[in-house]
Structure 1
Amino acid sequence: MSKSAATKALSRSYAGERALTFLVGLLALLGGALALVVGAGWLGEFRGRRPLLDPIAVGWLGGHATPARIAAIVLGVLLLVLGLRWALRSLRPEPRPDLDLDTTEGAELVVTAGAISGAIQADAEQLDGVSRARVRAVGSRTSPALRITLFLHEGTDLKGVWEDLDLRVLTRARESLGVDVLPAAVRLELDTSQAKRVR
């Protein structure tokens, strides 16, 4: 399981949100730094004492009031639409892909994401040292991926669990689903649900 495969399985659809957040934060940082530099008088004492809104810009806006208002309204509506789209995209549930194993008309065969997760979870729970597992199918119909969380008994051989998971569980899943590549992000945790009480 390569690093890129794990990244694909771990990442949701946050690339756009992260890029936009980064750009907004970068612009805010640059604006604040510029205000600090100008206010401190590092670009000249005259510029540091000037009003926040440049008198030339205020005069131009006063002379072109109608186009300036239209541009401000259009910009405001555009920012509102982009903000709503961003919020809705961030709040939507993550898709769980079903796989089309056979697309022949009249003999279609679809395996649901729940069935994929359940089968792989059952296989993973049979591994030595694994007390329970949680599996989630993510991605899309054309490029599915897995998120696997294994809860291990104390003292379990991690290397052995990792090799068994790759050779037995994931290989069998790829062969059963008929895919060459099935990225998986694996999280290993010590199972504390059955911890003994200290008296």
Structure 2
Amino acid sequence: MSRKSVSAKALARSYTAERTLTSVTGVLALLAGALVLVIGFGWLGTFRAQRPVLDPLAVQWLGREPVWAKVAAIALGVLLVVLGLWWFFRTLRPEGRPDLELDRTPGSELTVTAGAIADAVRADAESVDGVSKARARCVGDEERPALRLDLSLREGADLKRVWEAVDTHVLTRARESLGVDTLPTAVRIELDAAARRRVR
């Protein structure tokens, strides 16, 4: 797995389902448009190309069966509204904060909460020389946890040394403690503003 794809898991919440639905909808719309163009250019016969968009047979059937047409239209409308509301609330749902089960043995279960993981990583990061403040957040799911780490560095801190300490101490310890081989992590580093001096 590339470094870019690994870090992408931690940078933002997963929008796989949203992207999949959008892609499928786009592909279906593209195929429908291509079919209309093929019919319009007469590649399937000139008679079919000259027929109106609304098939006269379909229009006649709708005229003969207005009740069934209205029922079908109402049912389709209700279905679209329900799907739209479901998708809307699904998109707005809070991002997952996974609790990791380190031991599932009956009678000796051990679960580490997302808050505990974040607090431990934050404390380790703040112990690094040059870091004034840190904030950590565990995201993803139980099977694929990820980490977001925000660091504020003191003025004059050596960025290279801070990064080496975070990589070799903080993140390695987090992986070992959680018993995972990989822990996708997005690290954001900010520099503290220099203290203002009053001019006299």
TM-score w.r.t. structure 2 length?
0.74
Residue of structure 1 in register with 2:166 after alignment: 165
Residue of structure 2 in register with 1:67 after alignment: 68
> What are structure 2's unaligned runs of at least 5 residues?
30-40, 42-52
SS at match of 1:120: helix
Q: Per-residue deviation at 1:101?
A: 1.6
Query: Closer, same or farther in 2 for the Cα pair 1:159/1:62, shift >3 Å?
Result: farther
What is the rounded CA distance, in whole Å, between the counterparts of 1:189 and 1:62 in structure 2?
68
Residue of structure 2 in register with 1:50 after alignment: none
Residue of structure 2 in register with 1:109 after alignment: 110
Alignment of 1:82 with 2:65, yes or no, is: no
Deviations 1:92-124 (A, max 9, x none): 222211111222211111111111111100111
Alignment of 1:152 with 2:153, yes or no, is: yes
What CA RMSD, in Å, does the superposition of the two structures yield over aligned residues? Answer: 3.5
SS at match of 1:70: helix
Q: Which amino acid aligns with 2:191?
A: L
Alignment of 1:191 with 2:192, yes or no, is: yes
Q: Per-residue deviation at 1:160?
A: 2.7
Identity of aligned residues (%): 61
Stretches of 4+ moved more than 2 A in 1?
13-28, 53-68, 153-163, 194-199
Deviations 1:25-78 (A, max 9, x none): 8999xxxxxxxxxxxxxx9xxxxxxxxx85947555334423322221222122
Q: Per-residue deviation at 1:162?
A: 2.2
SS at match of 1:100: strand
> What are structure 1's unaligned runs of at least 5 residues?
29-42, 44-52
Deviations 1:2-38 (A, max 9, x none): 222211112324232345457778999xxxxxxxxxx
Residue of structure 2 in register with 1:48 after alignment: none
What is the rounded CA distance, in whole Å, between the counterparts of 2:136 and 2:12 in structure 1?
15
Q: Which amino acid aligns with 1:81?
A: V
Query: How many residue pairs end up in the alignment?
Result: 186
SS at match of 1:16: helix
Q: Per-residue deviation at 1:131?
A: 1.2
Q: Per-residue deviation at 1:197?
A: 5.7
Give the conservation status (yes or no) of the 8 Å contact 1:5–1:185.
Answer: no
Query: Closer, same or farther in 2 for the Cα pair 1:150/1:102, shift >3 Å?
Result: same
Q: Which amino acid aligns with 1:187?
A: R
What is the rounded CA distance, in whole Å, between the counterparts of 1:121 and 1:131 in structure 2?
11
What is the rounded CA distance, in whole Å, between the counterparts of 2:140 and 2:63 in structure 1?
53
Q: Which moved more, 1:132-141 or 1:99-108?
A: 99-108
What is the rounded CA distance, in whole Å, between the counterparts of 1:12 and 1:5 in structure 2?
13
What is the rounded CA distance, in whole Å, between the counterparts of 2:72 and 2:159 in structure 1?
61
TM-score w.r.t. structure 1 length?
0.74
Residue of structure 1 in register with 2:143 after alignment: 142
